[in-house]
Structure 1
Amino acid sequence: FEWGEALDLKRVEEKLSSGDYKAFTVEHVDTSTGIANPVDKVGELAKDTDALYIVDSVCGVGGMPLKMDEWNIDFCLTGSQKAVGAPPGISMFCLNEKAWNVVESRKTPVADYYANLKRWKPIMDNPRGYFATPAVGMVLGMTEALRIIHEEGLEARWRRHEVLSDAFRAGLGALGLEQFPAEGSEAHTLSVPKIPESVSDSDMRGLMRIKYGVIIAGGLGKLGGKTVRVGHMGNATSNDIVATMSALEMSLMELGYEMEPGAGVGAAEEVLVTLRVEA
């Protein structure tokens, strides 16, 4: 599939209908291009196949809807550090009975001792059966992150991420900046705008960091110097969106980009005020 475009459902359906695949993987959110794949619609295609449906939702879980059972996902994995909002260092995964049966019936030995889920099954059933020294700080951080998610509520959290994403895109549009991901396929957890040809990517990001205290990431691979990546996930707030948009505006102005001062911030604020929170 082309960079910046979501997967082609027809091509996926054609491949799966051949019956030649034991498993297939789909990336929920791609952080290099800012696209979100329609994992729910892929799940409709997966329900009538024996192939395992594996979803990488490292940048999705906690920030965008993901319904494992309803969407026929067999194995889903994520990380602690992105939309979940916990410190980095913990990998999380969930698998259903179909996926576990594949683990149990595997004939080729797993090369890595610690990646062998069959070895860990008794411990997952009864954690007291393995006396070890866990990374206590990471576990406590994850516990607090999950408490925050539970307190906010998943539906409200998904809505917040959607509004923050819409607000940042509105600000970018008001500044005349295009989005790299195809329209309708944008992720809610980050934005990937194109940089004007007249502006140096490194100079702009440098100004934002040094002068305004806001750090954003540069483009990856063939998008290096052409795009930037702005995360608005986890426990990001409206204030973060306004501050980032303001830093982006001022840096662009200082580098000679013609724009109406405050246009991006104003457009973002018009969307942000639609976010309802309980007093």
Structure 2
Amino acid sequence: MSITLGETITLKSLSICYNQRMENLPTATTVACSQCGGELHPEVGQVFLICPYCSSTVYIDKSQVVFHWYVAPTLDEKQARAALARWMAGNQTVKDLDRKAQISEVSFAYFPMWLFKYRKPDEKDELLLVPAAATSVSEIKNLILPPGDLRKPTAEIDHAAQAPTVPLETALAWLGQRQITAEQIIEKALVHVPVYTFKYFFNSRTYTALVEGASGGVFANLFPAKAEAPFLLIGGATALIYLCLATFPAMGALQSGASGLGIGLLICSGAGLVIAPILFVIAAWIAAKI
């Protein structure tokens, strides 16, 4: 059998193409379980895995393997709405926000958070949460996990959970900016937290608030807050009034000695007792109006 030059080139091209495809095929990966050290063999693209030796659920990051937990929700949507309404009726928000705000959208998801346990210089351990996905409400980082509520996720939870988009190495770099070194970190985990996302309208603007589905905590970056100027005004006026009253004893002492000091103290204390309730009523009236 004879092979022409053209056929030789074609066969060579096919051989090169085949070799390139073989090189591009994903190779088997072996990782160690973060709990027992057992050898794990995840499939291509698999990020959540249950260890066959110790039954731990782990998350496979590009850099290393970490524990994977989730927090079980205790609030349904109706209860989450009630938690949001209580927050809207609180002291931080404008008057009647709970009645005037119009909720336009509600969604539920298991939001990913990097959980770090680190040891401080005083030998005390502390937990720190870092969002593992992009969010417009960065205040979620102040979430406090309920103690003892971390559970092993099921396949259903893994399917419903929002995938992390912030790599573990990036989160560790953020810790470094806070002067937390790698040597201080004694535990790392990926935790999925139940979160209700509410979007609502108020005064022609759209706001976003998150309700944590286990504790009912509410988190928001921007919201219709009470105006600070009236409170600053009444606070400044109060300070000025009592500063003026404080000068009476000093002026009395300069003019009439001990007797003048006594008279000044009587005037100062008497006027202070009369003015205090008036200022309190004014402050309460301002708080009720804004």
Identify whether the pair has TM-score above 0.5, normalized to the shorter chain.
no
* Structure of larger gyration radius: 2
Structure with a larger share of its residues in strand: 2
| TM-score class normalised by the smaller sequence | under 0.3
